[in-house]
Amino acid sequence: MLEIQAGAPAKHLQSGRTPGFLAQTLQRARTAAVPYKIGDVLVGDDPFNGRREGTVVVKNGRSIGICTSDRVYFYDYRQLRRPD
């Protein structure tokens, strides 16, 4: 029987490579490959935020923060495009 001491850190009970590999694969699948970098100039078009042009200042998962002259607006990366 497994005995866990009080105050001792819990150890990972699963052994082998499969759980770690599966966890890494799922993490990569959940994380979107956002094609924009901080400093890129983009145009965002959203019915709630409106159409804004600005520079990327924040990348948080799928959310991108665009800094205009007065504020930072957050868009989903799929609502952004490069200006013409």
Q: In the chain, what are the domains?
A: 34-81 (2.30.30)
pLDDT classification of 71: cutoffs 50, 70, 90: very high
Average pLDDT over residues 9-16: 53
CA distance to 10, 31, 32, 40, 47, per residue, from 66 (Å) = 42, 20, 18, 9, 16
* Mean pLDDT of all residues in 64-76: 91
Q: What is the distance between the alpha carbons of residues 50 and 30, in angstroms, rounded to a whole number?
A: 27
Q: Are 43 and 82 in contact (CB under 8 A)?
A: yes
Q: How far apart are CA 60 and CA 5, in angstroms?
A: 39
Q: Which of 3-7, 60-64, 74-78 has the lowest mean pLDDT?
A: 3-7
Q: How confident is residue 55, by pLDDT bands cut at 50, 70 and 90?
A: very high
When pLDDT is cut at 50, 70 and 90, the band that residue 62 belongs to is confident
